[in-house]
Structure 1
Amino acid sequence: MRFVGIDPATRTGIVALNLKGEVLVEMELKGKGPAGAMSTPQLVDLENQLYKLLLKGDLIVIEDASAGTQKGITTGMVHGGLRSMIYRRELDFDISNAMWTKKYVGVKVEKGQTEKQKKDAIGAAVLEQFGYSHKSHNVVDAYIIARIALNLYLMRNYEPLLDNERHQVEVVQGIMERAEVG
């Protein structure tokens, strides 16, 4: 059993953990094709890469599109395409929103912060809390999401969580409640 976190984007982060929280897979996926806007061949290649990495029995959490994203069409294509790959693999998934990903590691977005400052703060928090780092911020986000997937499984099975900070438990409970409603 693996716990998979996916941070969808034109460069998609994916991390798979085992039950102990050890990293089994950590990659950044990018569809092959010409530079520029996401083309259909690039999207299909990205989807196929994800499809090949997913295994029967994977428990998946995928990050939802950020509210107010500036690239709505591309975001919709990537998120929808990757979700359809998960579905084609006959796997279920839960959804975490971008704010929950930040909250899970205790990062609060400050007014006026640049995207780089936000990503640097998240990377520093992950390194401090879990001893994990990666050159790609998409993979770092996917690592957080994979930890959410693992703790979601533990909570659903009434087992002790690996991550017990109040804000982490609130995120996992929030995803559970949303799944029960949806």
Structure 2
Amino acid sequence: MTRYVGIDPSTKTGIVALSPSGRTLDAREIEGKGEDPRRMYSIIQAVSRAIQPDDIICIEGFGFASQSGFLLGGIGWGVRMELYRRGIPYQEVSPNGLKKFTGAGGTASKAEVAVETFKRWGFQCKSDNVTDAYVLAQIARAMHKDIKITKFQQEVINVIRNPQTKSKKKKENKTR
């Protein structure tokens, strides 16, 4: 059976798997064991064990305001490399896109995302990471199933499918 999986890579990684009908099959938070790099490795391996070959995956993109960007980047890239190694494709979803998909808006707080997630899908969890992973799984499902979605949700999917590339500004040669 195809599962729709959301992954929020972090020091406490959220992972959620949904059935084609949207039923929650798995929802958990993965914490690493020990000191880094062992802790990072244990998170990456636990995520890998939770993933099945036919899963359709959305993973949260990197945020730029994080205080622990290096550590989170290491976990995030480690998960992505493990998926790549196994030949499992994934879609990248920006943090703002995740928030917008709930109806809370791109600049919403974690609490606002949790409220909108409960109102829209009836899902509730104490962990913000698992809540985010749930939304990511719903995005994966909406991208591959013919289900009713809102205009703003379709906008999020359109951005994922057709990402805008930023053009590099040409540097002027200044000679004296």
> TM-score, normalising length from structure 2?
0.88
Structure 1 letter corresponding to 2:147: L
Q: Which residue of 2 aligns with 1:9?
A: 10
Distance 1:142 1:95 in 2: 12
Query: Alignment partner for residue 137 of structure 1, among 98, 109, 128?
Result: 128
Query: Alignment partner for residue 105 of structure 2, among 103, 108, 111?
Result: 108
Q: Which residue of 2 aligns with 1:176?
A: 161
3-state DSSP of counterpart to 1:108: coil
Contact 1:10 1:78 in 2 (8 A): yes
Distance 2:152 2:11 in 1: 29
RMSD, aligned CA? 1.6
Q: Runs of 5+ in structure 2 lacking a partner?
A: 165-176
CA spacing shift, 1:109–1:146, aligned 2, 3 Å: closer
Superposed displacement of residue 86, structure 1: 1.2
Structure 2 letter corresponding to 1:132: F
The C-alpha deviation readout for 1:66-88, integer Å capped at 9, x for no partner, is 12322221121011111112122
Superposed displacement of residue 54, structure 1: 0.6
> TM-score, normalising length from structure 1?
0.85
Q: Which structure 2 residues correspond to residues 69-80 of structure 1 after superposition, within 5 A?
A: 69-80=66-77
Higher helix share: 1
Contact 1:54 1:89 in 2 (8 A): no
Large movers: runs of 4+ above 6 Å: none
Query: Alignment partner for residue 93 of structure 2, among 90, 93, 96?
Result: 96
Contact 2:15 2:28 in 1 (8 A): yes
CA spacing shift, 1:109–1:56, aligned 2, 3 Å: closer
3-state DSSP of counterpart to 1:46: helix
Superposed displacement of residue 33, structure 1: 1.1
Contact 2:7 2:15 in 1 (8 A): yes
> Does residue 29 of structure 2 align to residue 28 of structure 1?
yes
Q: Which residue of 2 aligns with 1:161?
A: 147
Which protein is bigger by CA-based radius of gyration?
A: 2
Higher mean Cα deviation, 133-142 or 61-70?
61-70
Contact 1:5 1:15 in 2 (8 A): yes
Q: Runs of 5+ in structure 1 lacking a partner?
A: 155-159
How many correspondences in the alignment?
163
